[in-house]
Chains A and B, each alone.
Chain A
Amino acid sequence: MTPARSNPLPLEGIRVLDLGQFIAIPFCTLWLAWLGAEVVVVESRRRMTSRTAPPFAKGHEKQPDASGYFNQLYSSKKSCTVDMTTAGGRDIVRRLAGVCDVMVDNFSTGVLEKLGLGYESVAELNPSIVMLSNGAFGRVGPMRNARGLHSAVNLFSGVADVTGYADGHPRILGGVLPDPLSGTYSGFAILAAIHHRQRTGQGQFIDVAMHEAMLTLIPEAVIDLTMNDVEPQRIGNRDRVNAPHGIYRCRGDDSWVAISVTDETGWGNLCRAICHAELLDDPRFVSLEARRSNVGALDLAIEAWSRTQDVHAATDLLQRAGVPAGPVLRVDEMLNNEQLNARGGVVTIDHPVAGPRRQMGLPWNMDSLGVEYRRAPLLGEHTREILTGLLGVSEADYARLEADGVLA
């Protein structure tokens, strides 16, 4: 691939007003910023969320420019400090909304309206703006005000109903998937709305509910339940159709290999590769139906082999034999993963306070368009540029706003 930087950025010329917090919206605008959008983040020293959150660069604990949480989610964005609890601050944010193509938030339902920044007010100044709100349960419906951490979203969405060990209770996914997942849907929604606006001039409001984003992961279970009255099942790492399909223990501490066989050829390849060709003649495993019926014994037979193996050696052996297999990676192993690194998918971004740090870049490459990974802004780094440049505030007025604490 051509070096990304030399190519035009796909979203250059699109300006986004980012009132996001936590992860979902900052994650959405992170990708837009990397793709060339100008993302203006409104934050305030009086109300900092991400910048006060750990982890911090060692020796810089609690410093607002040293939070990894902030620095990794706000790469390539601009920081404009405005105190929205002041009337002057709200006025500045309204003026910013007037000159942006997109505005995004994930406050609790009703907060923007109280600030006079709800869609109806903003659309009066800027009718073609695309505004997107992301919330745990969305902006419409009886649960619109309900509090929802990622775990609540997970538990409401139905995903937990198909997450669990065989015949065990519902479990919660690791990470904070509802946030980046709904953030990605938000990105697609914004770009679709921009496409529509480019054709028609029409702006609009978009409502993203995190639980609906999660729901899109489980169509099979939803359809089987509503069509056939079949209750969702928790089946560990097994598949409803194919077997073997599992995560098997390897030699060493908490080390595991994922193995997935989808046809008879794959099953034959697996048995021969692990030197247990006798399994091919075992009546319990002779067909897919037989393997499904005896899946407990099947998994034990595979694990009897895998637990004596190094995970990477086992992966290589199976891959060479034509069996889909791979190691279960911890996040630190993922950062060092040769494949992700070879694709340029792990990027190192330098920062004057936190130093060079690695994170995942965009998970795709483009041959004719570019991506730009720049460091996160220091607190308030772009306030002057945005007010005096973009909004045309005079130096005298800027000084007055600063003195009045509006830009704190």
Chain B
Amino acid sequence: MSSQTQPTAQGPLAGVTVVELGDSTAGPYAAKLFGDFGADVIKVEGPAGDSTRRRGPFPAGLPDPEASGLFMYLNINKLGVVLDLAKPQDQAAMHRLLARADIFISNLPAMQLDACDLGAKTLRSRHPRLIVTTISPFGADGPWAGKLGDELVTYAMGGIAYSTPGMPDAADDLVKEPPLHPACFVAETIAGIVAAEATMAALIGRGRTNQGCHVELSEQAAMAAMQIRDVTNASYVGSHYNRLLNPVTIGRMPNFYLPCKDGYVTVAAPMEIHWERLTQTMGNPAWAQSELYSTEAARTANWITLRLNLIDWTITLSSDELHAFGEKSQLPIFPFYSIRKMADSDHSRVRGTLAEVEIGGRLARMPAAPFQMRETPWGLRRPAPRLGEHSAGILAEGLVT
């Protein structure tokens, strides 16, 4: 761990104790946010460990359950305990941990929790001040409560897949370009963030009621909540976005995502003043003086040829040149950044957007603070636990209590 990431102050959640019984991303990420901001988080794993330990990415691609990059990211700043919750004595140990905890976070299936005496009802009655946060694909009740869902399925049922690629990008062909899911854990991460906020609200509420709470979250609903702009359109005027470029849904043109010499760039100039600046920036080409583009309405009506004309311009320029034009002309012209280019940018460096960690003897960088708190900064206090790393100390202490 590099010294720059050592916190100089306690996190805002110092003194809060969280017990996490999670797997993959959603539950562990919610608990990570607590650990990242100072809470004591005890991660409980079964004897086989969190499945993320087996997913990687691994140093040089060589599988090693103690060197999974994703596991490291999701579980830094936590202590690790192994319990075999099929065994009554380990269930009892779990309850001793929970007796001292403020918060329990789990994204294991409800049936699995019930089977080891850790169902939400049991926890609420045995530990009346405990905040019990459960995350499931569709929620604990309703006709889909017991159905099988994961990242891809909850994402698809949360509304964003249908409209991706989305404005100002668009599909040319609805069949060849199906609804699109990015190659990352969007729905699970969002479920984790929402669970963290919900849990914090319940913790603050407990300060007034002196009572615990079951915070019961649906991953599908968390994704759906993120679609507020599109839901409003459906609710007020019955319209919906599909993946086609269409002035009815996209509005005034130009507002495009276009290829350039070395990448891709968005170009928007929806109002007259923007269009004037854009034509100036392009050096007043003859085509831009055409009747076809003489008004906002005309540009929107003739967007198909307008797009082609603009590509003839963007394709001659690099991402950096176009970005500079955008800055100079105060127009929303913005290029695609690869992860490498973003990670190496001055902006990321100055902000400390990425933090350096050691994974299986190799240095890697990973996303650091999701937001920056001036008095209680994010900090990398400890690496993710090895499987059962803190079992002896924590459980022995638990037995004494």
* Residues on the A chain within 8 Å of B189, using CB: 216-217
Question: Do A191 and B197 touch (CB < 8 A)?
Answer: yes
Other-chain contact of A334, B124, B208, B231 (Cβ < 8 Å): B231
In the bound complex, CA of A355 to CA of B211 (Å): 37
Q: From B265, which residue of chain A is reached at the shortest CB distance?
A: A155
* Residues on the B chain within 8 Å of A202, using CB: 375
A to B CB contacts below 8 Å, 6 in the list: A10-B204, A137-B347, A177-B226, A186-B371, A331-B227, A360-B225
Question: Do B69 and A157 touch (CB < 8 A)?
Answer: no
Known: A188-B197, A227-B362. A331 touches B147 (CB 8 A): no
* Residues on the B chain within 8 Å of A207, using CB: 371-372, 374
List the 9 shortest-distance A-B pairs measured between CB atoms, nearest first.
A10-B205, A174-B166, A174-B163, A342-B142, A363-B221, A227-B364, A68-B236, A196-B12, A223-B69
Other-chain contact of B207, A143, A198, A223 (Cβ < 8 Å): A198
Other-chain contact of B160, A177, A184, A194, A326 (Cβ < 8 Å): A177
* Residues on the B chain within 8 Å of A156, using CB: 334, 337, 342
Known: A23-B228, A222-B339, A334-B224. A327 touches B13 (CB 8 A): no
Closest CB in chain A relative to B114 CB, distance in Å: 16
* Residues on the A chain within 8 Å of B142, using CB: 338-339, 342-343
- Number of chain B residues close to chain A: CB under 8 A: 149
Within A174-225, the residues touching B (CB, 8 Å) are: 174-177, 179-181, 184-189, 191-196, 198-199, 202-209, 211-213, 215-225
Within A260-282, the residues touching B (CB, 8 Å) are: 260, 262
Q: Is A350 an interface residue (CB 8 A)?
A: no
Other-chain contact of A331, B159, B208, B327, B334 (Cβ < 8 Å): B159
Within A211-247, the residues touching B (CB, 8 Å) are: 211-213, 215-228, 230-241, 245-247
Q: Is A296 an interface residue (CB 8 A)?
A: no
Question: Do A232 and B338 touch (CB < 8 A)?
Answer: yes
Q: Is A366 an interface residue (CB 8 A)?
A: yes
Closest CB in chain B relative to A130 CB, distance in Å: 9
Known: A158-B343, A196-B12, A368-B214. A330 touches B236 (CB 8 A): no
Question: Do B232 and A193 touch (CB < 8 A)?
Answer: no
Other-chain contact of B201, A191, A208, A342, A358 (Cβ < 8 Å): A191
* Residues on the A chain within 8 Å of B266, using CB: 149, 151-152, 155, 172
Q: Is B233 an interface residue (CB 8 A)?
A: yes
Question: Do B336 and A170 touch (CB < 8 A)?
Answer: yes
Question: Do B228 and A72 touch (CB < 8 A)?
Answer: yes
Q: Is A401 an interface residue (CB 8 A)?
A: no
Closest CB in chain A relative to B184 CB, distance in Å: 5
Most buried by A among B37, B153, B201: B201
- Per-residue CB proximity of A243-259 to B under 8 Å, as 1/0? 00111110000101011
In the bound complex, CA of A256 to CA of B241 (Å): 16
Question: Do A158 and B337 touch (CB < 8 A)?
Answer: yes
How many A-B pairs fall under 8 Å by CB? 518
Spot the interface stretch: B168-176, B287-295, B297-305. B168-176
Within A310-335, the residues touching B (CB, 8 Å) are: 319, 322-332, 334-335
Question: Do B221 and A345 touch (CB < 8 A)?
Answer: yes
* Residues on the B chain within 8 Å of A354, using CB: 236
Other-chain contact of A224, B69, B149, B214 (Cβ < 8 Å): B69
Question: Do A151 and B232 touch (CB < 8 A)?
Answer: no
Q: Is A337 an interface residue (CB 8 A)?
A: yes
Q: Is B20 an interface residue (CB 8 A)?
A: no
Within B109-149, the residues touching A (CB, 8 Å) are: 124, 137-139, 141-144, 147-149
Question: Do B234 and A149 touch (CB < 8 A)?
Answer: no
Within B298-314, the residues touching A (CB, 8 Å) are: none
Question: Do B222 and A363 touch (CB < 8 A)?
Answer: yes
Known: A140-B351, A334-B159, A345-B218. A180 touches B372 (CB 8 A): no
- Per-residue CB proximity of B228-246 to A under 8 Å, as 1/0? 1111111111111111000
Spot the interface stretch: B42-50, B56-64, B89-97, B392-400. B56-64
In the bound complex, CA of A359 to CA of B157 (Å): 16
* Residues on the A chain within 8 Å of B72, using CB: 223
Q: From A194, which residue of chain B is reached at the shortest CB distance?
A: B204
Q: From B182, which residue of chain A is reached at the shortest CB distance?
A: A163
Q: Is B283 an interface residue (CB 8 A)?
A: no
In the complex, besides A141-B350, A330-B234, 13 extra interface pairs with C-beta distance below 8 angstroms are A73-B228, A160-B337, A171-B180, A174-B243, A206-B374, A217-B185, A225-B340, A228-B362, A258-B152, A258-B156, A334-B159, A360-B224, A365-B215
- Per-residue CB proximity of A27-56 to B under 8 Å, as 1/0? 100010001000000000000000000111
* Residues on the B chain within 8 Å of A12, using CB: 208
Question: Do B339 and A152 touch (CB < 8 A)?
Answer: no
Q: Is B193 an interface residue (CB 8 A)?
A: yes
In the bound complex, CA of A256 to CA of B164 (Å): 13
Q: From A132, which residue of chain B is reached at the shortest CB distance?
A: B371
Question: Do B218 and A364 touch (CB < 8 A)?
Answer: yes
* Residues on the B chain within 8 Å of A173, using CB: 160, 164-166, 182
